[in-house]
Amino acid sequence: MKNSIKNLIEGSFDLHVHSAPSHVKRSIDDIDLIKKASTYKMAGVLIKNHYEPTSGRAELINKHFDFYTKAYGGIVLNSTVGGINPYACESALKMGAKIVWLPTRDAENSLKYGNMKGDFFNREGISVIDDKGNLIKALKDVIEVVKKYDATLATGHISLEESLKVCDYAIKKNIKVALTHPDWNRTKIPTDIQVALGKKGVFIEKVWANLDDGDCDEEEFLSVMNELNFNNIFITTDRGYYTKKPPFESLVDCIEFLIDKGVDCRNIEKMLKKTPKIIVEGV
């Protein structure tokens, strides 16, 4: 591995990784994930599970293993935690969760495209707006809890309409809010809207898996970065699915791609180190 890539990985974060134990087969488990990241002195990795909070798992790893890399956890507000449930949200945050995702696999918007691989029960889709297009009270309650713990709200797999309303409301409430993989086919958001949201202070997630799997092209992936001068953008891999490259190797691929496309190392550091640190640590 080139020294330039090693230097970029050291101190970096990946805030969207799926590891085992999981309801879906994964390529790596929590402990091996953080162990691997520690080998190259990554600052932190956030473990995501669609159907259970991961903050407790992260706490145990940090307590019982002398890893260089810090494990982080979060919660996804899918059906198994009661959907848009401020009580489940606060429980996870009190246990150390750093990101609260709105519904993913169980979002009404996502289910319009059908089940995803690994879905194992039938359910009604969850929306964060009512029949009149207004944000539901439970969502506003969740946002108050997120603000209380200085955590970050992420949009999950909700629709464009819902995402815009959630982001606007979160900005008014002065909480950190992130746009979840806006280049993925189920949550696709036009690049001009991504830029507009980024200029308002929304964190824009750029997921390597979306480009690597063909959900977006290079122009979609890179143009928002350039328009925002690489500010308010964080890079994640969204890897862990057993048929794909593991998370760490995917991160290396992403860095190599950015370097090949002429992205300055200082700007890569913004997206791998500075912005994700703000998301999970607030500084």
Please report, for residues 3, 160, 263, 275, the alpha-carbon distance to residue 258 in angstroms, rounded to integers and kept in the order given.
Answer: 15, 27, 5, 17
Number of domains within the chain: 1
Q: What stretches of 14-54 show up as alpha helix (H) in DSSP?
A: 30-39
Say if CB 253 and CB 245 are below 8 A apart: yes
Query: CA end-to-end span of the chain, whole Å?
Result: 30
pLDDT in the model for residue 215: 97
Here the CATH number for the domain that contains residue 29 is 3.20.20.140
Question: Which structural domain, as residue segments, surrounds residue 20?
Answer: 3-281
CB atoms within 10 A of CB 2: 11
Distances in Å between the Cα of 81 and the Cα atoms of 35, 84, 93, 136, 229 are: 29, 8, 13, 17, 38
Average pLDDT for consecutive 10-residue bins of the chain (283 residues)?
93 99 97 98 99 98 98 99 99 99 98 89 96 98 99 99 99 98 98 99 99 97 98 99 96 98 98 99 91
Contacts of 187 (CB under 8 A, 6+ apart): 109, 110, 155, 156, 157, 158, 163, 180, 181
Sign for the CA dihedral angle at 188, 191, 192, 193 comes to positive
The pLDDT value given to residue 138: 99
Q: What is the pLDDT of residue 36?
A: 98
Task: Please give the pLDDT value at position 220.
Answer: 95
- Phi, psi of 26, deg, nearest 5: -120, 160
pLDDT of residue 2: 87
- Region of 191 on the Ramachandran plot (φ > 0 left; ψ -120 to 50 alpha; else beta): alpha
Return d(Cα 177, Cα 171) in angstroms, integer. 8
The amino acid that residue 125 corresponds to is G
